[in-house]
Amino acid sequence: MNSLDLKITKPEAHFKKPLVNEGKYTNTDKKKLAKASKEFESMLTTMMIKSMTKTTDGLFGKDNYGGDVLDVLFETEMANFITQAKGMGIADKIYNNITGESLASLSKLDNNNSLRRDVKIKRVENESINKKNISTNDKAIKRLEKYKDIIEEAAKKYNVDEKLIKSVILTESSAKAEVKSKANAKGLMQLMDSTATAMGVKNPWDPKENIHGGTKYLSKLLNLYSGNKDKALAAYNAGMGNVKKYNGIPPFKETLNYIERVNFYLNNLD
């Protein structure tokens, strides 16, 4: 079959006046139309590249091994890149003809929606943190009072801020000495068996041993990270291996929330 060469002397004549379709298409519909418009432009661009390289027997020449396959791959990738970048305006013309809008307006809408979504998420996160106020933890504060003397003793012995110890206890166990986590962390400062053993704790259920063991471990972490409190807290929660792996605070949601909660208590405790 012989190829049919088309000569278009007035390209704009083939695009009708934009339709007035305000409110006719949802944002989801518009995204689908934009995708289809770009795919159509990409197809035309591929044909154009193929036509341009026809005299050179393709992008890789006539005698290149596997050139016919590579030609198709590279032509398609080049066309997609051109279309997704600035493009030749064909996709925008098609989209505009159907919706009466420009692709740029859709992109702006997506950016605004993304910004609103990010702001909403941040607002919810902030509200969540604000709800973690001391007044809603009166029972925990009262429970913590029972260990005041032990905390003071451990703070002096291991040179750790009393408020930091209290904040870790409130975050770890809400000052409940009998708490055990799913990971088998035990007591007020949620000591793992290996940590308890390393810190010389024989009975992690004993409040004094638990607080002294947890404070000793916290002191070692603070010294290890040159007094960087957040790094020490990250290691206390996620382990020193993860802090080393990520060269700082690991991007774990649980760890980030943990640090934020400890700091909240630290800044609000009397």
Catalytic residues: 172
Which positions ≥6 away from 156 have C-beta within 8 Å? Answer: none
CA–CA distance, 39 with 79 (Å, rounded to integer): 9
CA–CA gap between residue 201 and residue 81 (Å, rounded):
62
Q: How far apart are CA 41 and CA 83, in angstroms?
A: 7
C-alpha distances out from residue 82 to 30, 31, 71, 75, 190, Å: 21, 19, 16, 11, 56
Token digits of residue 55: 């005299």
Report the sign of the C-alpha dihedral through residues 78, 84, 86, 87, in that order.
Answer: positive
Rg (CA), the chain: 32
